[in-house]
Amino acid sequence: MTQLRFTPLAQSLPATVPFVGPETQERQRGAPFDARLGANENVFGPSPRAIEAMQKAAGDIWMYGDPENHDLRHALAAHHGVSPANIVVGEGIDGLLGYLVRLFIGSGDAVVTSEGAYPTFNYHVAGFGGVLHKVPYSGDHEDPAALFAKAAEVDAKLVYLANPDNPMGTWHSGAEIVAAMEALPKGCLLVLDEAYVECAPEGTAAPVDVGDTRLIRMRTFSKAYGMAGARVGYALGAPELISAFNKVRNHFGMNRAAQAGALTALGDADWLAHVQSEISTARARIDTIAQDNGLSTVPSATNFVAIDCGRDGVFAKAVLDALIASGLFVRMPFAAPQNRCIRISCGRPQDLDAFAAALPGALQIARVQTNTQA
């Protein structure tokens, strides 16, 4: 036996998991969930043509995928009216965030994000020895002015901003983001996570020049395109930033069928429109269900809705636990005061029927557990 000589950084890291998966919870409870509304997956699924493309590619899976992601990058470039040199494709936004943090952050480097924002970004920052500085939400919105002011204060190398936001679903117009960027300090890269932007109103995507070295934009096929399990994300940015990913990325890391599926999904605008319509319908339904139970929702530009349970985090957690116990996979924000909410992904009618059926009982249980009455 020998000593394992991990790096001091690796030695210091906790073996944390950013999220516990629903399968883990299903194994713990000994039964599958009746509805899967916790991870903002798109239950309406990908374009049937994309499914077909992936099925066809399964027979070719003996071949490695193209390490350059050539066809997908070129199609994305045409889609966005930019050059392929502005695009890097990776193993989901999670994978790309890992590479990005690795390129910029070493021991002690400052990074800014919002209290309660995407934990996987924080996981990567901690994993490369960065120091996180957090600012609170403002009225359930991420607060660009506060984020950028904090970035200036701590000399941050990266500042993370999701627009639309997860877990609240709130958003700023792209023009507001661009205006706020006037206060972005020099030498601080804005990581603008637009994972949900295809679910948002026109004008939410930041109208920036793709060659602007002040920011990198993250996009994904996991949400509106319905391919979370395929692991395909991409980043848009200046060529000198994008090309740096080639120094560290897993060049042969992309699944070949996923490449084919994403390429086909991108070309099926009708299906995307169909999904957008379904999401819109589901958001309205979730709002109705909340109102039927005397609760309100936070307006959402995503494929999920935060329901304000009207009390504190302890109460919302009791509601969440009761929903999970009744067979629904749901999650909630981590930080106060946003943790007064539970977060419900847009489901099909049958998924939301199950939620509608379970919510009154869950609220009742929570009220009893927290010893109060509405």
Show contacts with a second copy in window 76-135 (CB under 8 A): 91-92, 94-95, 98, 102-106, 109, 120, 127
- Least distance to a second copy from the beta carbon of 49, Å? 12
Q: Which of 35, 57, 154, 192 binds a second copy (CB under 8 A)?
A: 57
Q: Which of 76, 117, 135, 157 binds a second copy (CB under 8 A)?
A: 157
Q: Which is nearer to a second copy, 39 or 365 (CB)?
A: 39
Do residues 174 and 207 lie in contact, with contact meaning Cβ atoms separated by under 8 Å? Answer: yes
Q: What's the CA gap between 213 and 205, in Å, rounded? A: 17
Q: Which of 28, 30, 31, 62 binds a second copy (CB under 8 A)?
A: 62
164 binds a second copy (CB under 8 A): no
> Would you give the binding string for a second copy spanning residues 225-264, x where CB under 8 A is met?
-xxxxxx--------xx-xx-xxx-xxxxxxxxx--x---
Q: Which is nearer to a second copy, 242 or 309 (CB)?
A: 242
42 binds a second copy (CB under 8 A): yes
43 binds a second copy (CB under 8 A): yes
183 binds a second copy (CB under 8 A): no
Q: Three-state DSSP class for 247?
A: helix
Instruction: Give the number of other Cβ atoms within 10 Å of residue 349's Cβ.
Output: 12
Q: Which of 32, 67, 207, 360 binds a second copy (CB under 8 A)?
A: 67
Q: What's the CA gap between 19 and 311, in Å, rounded? A: 24
Please tell me what DSSP assigns to residue 228: G
5 binds a second copy (CB under 8 A): yes
Residue list 345-364, contact with a second copy (CB under 8 A): none
Q: Which is nearer to a second copy, 13 or 146 (CB)?
A: 13
Assign 3-class secondary structure to 74-142.
HHHHHHHCCCHHHEEEECHHHHHHHHHHHHHCCCCCEEEEECCCCHHHHHHHHHCCCEEEEECCECCEC
Q: What's the CA gap between 159 and 180, in Å, rounded? A: 13
Q: Which helix or strand (DSSP H or E) is residue 303 part of? A: none
